[in-house]
Amino acid sequence: MEYFDMNWVGFFFRWLHVMFGVMWIGLLWYFNFVQVPSMPGIPDDQKPAITKHIAPRALFWFRWAALGTLITGLIVAQGNGYLVNALTFSGSQADVAIGFGMWFGIIMAFNVWMIIWPNQKKVLGIVEATAEEKPRAARMAFLASRTNTMLSIPMLYAMVSVQQGIWG
């Protein structure tokens, strides 16, 4: 019996990838389908509970789940031997399909770290911003988050369809 089973290591990283992905997309959908649409109906005196306590904590887990999903996904792809083919849209139909999912995920992770989080820090008062900057920052974060929500649908389809063997 082998002391260190590489199949178990591969499974472990796939499990981490799914766990981080569920957290990331779950929070993304929470923000876009629950929190943002609910904000106009919340009385002004209660909004600080969201902006000072809930949103910063949710954004912490959101951004680190995005990074965890990206890193573990790249590890899984490398470990299974399709990383380069997927990222370059070459190889089998399955490699190309998962490549689309990977690129959607990469774009989404970029949006989280380079657009959503820097702008949310301004909106939430974590970093200083003028009164004129805050609405613009809110709009940028909103648009990037909505873009990610839309990209999450074909991204999830590409990932699941490959696992089901649709593409051969």
**3-state SS, one letter per residue, for 26-82:** HHHHHHHHHHHHHHHHCCHHHHHHHHHHHHHHHHHHHHHHHHHHHHHHHHHHHHCCC
Residue 1 belongs to some domain of the structure: no
Residue 137 belongs to some domain of the structure: yes
pLDDT given for residue 161 in this prediction: 87
Which pLDDT band holds residue 86 (cuts at 50, 70, 90)? very high
Which pLDDT band holds residue 7 (cuts at 50, 70, 90)? confident
Rounded Cα distance, 37 and 44, in Å: 15
- Residue 29: pLDDT over 80: yes
Residue 16 belongs to some domain of the structure: yes
Q: Quick one: which of 115, 142, 118, 114 has its CA closest to 129?
A: 118
Residue 168 belongs to some domain of the structure: no
Rounded Cα distance, 114 and 132, in Å: 20
Domain count, the chain: 1
User: Which range among 19-28, 45-54, 68-77, 146-155 shows the weakest confidence by mean pLDDT?
Assistant: 45-54
Average pLDDT over residues 124-147: 96
Rounded Cα distance, 126 and 116, in Å: 13
pLDDT given for residue 163 in this prediction: 75
Which pLDDT band holds residue 165 (cuts at 50, 70, 90)? low
Average pLDDT over residues 119-134: 96
**Residue 87, domain extent:** 6-163
